[in-house]
Homo-oligomer: A and B are copies of this chain.
Amino acid sequence: MNKRLSAQPTASIELLQSHSLPSLVQRHLENMILAGQLIPGSKLTEIPLAGQLGVSRGPVREAFRGLEEKGLVRVERNRGVFVRTITSAEADDIYEVRQAIEELIVRKLAAAPDRVMEAGLEEVLAKAGKFAEKGDFARCHALNIEFHDRLAALTGNAALLDHYRRLANELSLFRHRAHAKIRDASSLRASVADHRALLAAIAAGDRRLAVRLIREHLEASRARLQRLLADREDSPG
């Protein structure tokens, strides 16, 4: 009963009434994985995990099942579950699908720019730009991810948002490998600039341009990441 899921004991009661224990555990692990606090390939053992979270093994196992279906962990029978590792080839595959999805997102938004303008995305980009100037890698990166997520959400298509998020999560899993040591601030500024141009194109309702921009943005992002990773593997010091 030492470390529980929530810091405030009173709030956790309310949470327990709406969300089941397994879903809380799942969200917790998901956050840990996506934040890079659980590195790909590392093993998740039930008993210590259950102890840490103050629950029994049942909910933990159920959370594992959900995470497996989300592609965040890999379950090996009688051996355990491991944070999923994504190879460069897999990342390329995922990027390819994501490109198709994001093109759809951008096409939809450019067709109805009104909502996008009211969503306060300029603010997100402005903050991201500030953090980039300050060299605050983590916060800027988080805002860049939020920008894409907000775009997906603005389409109003739940299935689209769902699939986008899964792809984005898997890629963030891959990204941790590259970012573990190297944090390229210039690439972040490039991303913010790309986002600005993209948002302008959407706001102008220029579908053609917006699609071209998102395509180039993702391709550049993909290439940058792959190169970064290749460099790391060459000199793993």
| Minimum C-beta distance from A107 to chain B (A) | 9
CA distance A58 to B60 in the complex (A): 12
Contact present for B160 and A96 (CB under 8 Å)? yes
| A66 located at the interface, meaning its Cβ lies under 8 Å from any Cβ of chain B in the complex | yes
| A103 located at the interface, meaning its Cβ lies under 8 Å from any Cβ of chain B in the complex | yes
| Minimum C-beta distance from A26 to chain B (A) | 8
- Picked from B77, B97, B158, B167, the residue with its CB within 8 Å of the CB of A18 is B77
- Picked from B65, B71, B77, B167, the residue with its CB within 8 Å of the CB of A66 is B65
Using known A-B contacts A20-B77, A69-B70, A90-B158, determine if residue A97 contacts B62 with beta carbons closer than 8 Å. no
The residues of B that contact A69 with a CB separation of less than 8 Å are 65-66, 69-70
CA distance A22 to B65 in the complex (A): 9
Count of interface residues, chain A, beta-carbon cutoff 8 Å: 34
Over the window 142-186 of chain A, the binary record of Cβ atoms lying under 8 Å from chain B Cβ atoms (1 yes, 0 no) is 000000000000000111101100110010000000000000000
| Minimum C-beta distance from A108 to chain B (A) | 8
Taking CB atoms and an 8 Å cut-off, the chain A residues in 48-84 that contact chain B are 58, 61-63, 65-66, 68-71, 75, 77
- Which chain B residue has the least Cβ–Cβ distance from A98? B159
The residues of B that contact A234 with a CB separation of less than 8 Å are none
Point out which of A18, A90, A97, A170 has the most chain B C-beta atoms below 10 A from its C-beta: A97
- Which chain B residue has the least Cβ–Cβ distance from A158? B93
| A130 located at the interface, meaning its Cβ lies under 8 Å from any Cβ of chain B in the complex | no
Contact present for A157 and B96 (CB under 8 Å)? yes
Using known A-B contacts A58-B58, A69-B69, determine if residue A170 contacts B163 with beta carbons closer than 8 Å. no
CA distance A159 to B68 in the complex (A): 14
| Minimum C-beta distance from A46 to chain B (A) | 12
| A104 located at the interface, meaning its Cβ lies under 8 Å from any Cβ of chain B in the complex | yes
| Minimum C-beta distance from A6 to chain B (A) | 17
| A209 located at the interface, meaning its Cβ lies under 8 Å from any Cβ of chain B in the complex | no
CA distance A206 to B205 in the complex (A): 30
- Which chain B residue has the least Cβ–Cβ distance from A164? B97
| A94 located at the interface, meaning its Cβ lies under 8 Å from any Cβ of chain B in the complex | yes
| A19 located at the interface, meaning its Cβ lies under 8 Å from any Cβ of chain B in the complex | yes
- Picked from B18, B63, B94, B157, the residue with its CB within 8 Å of the CB of A159 is B94
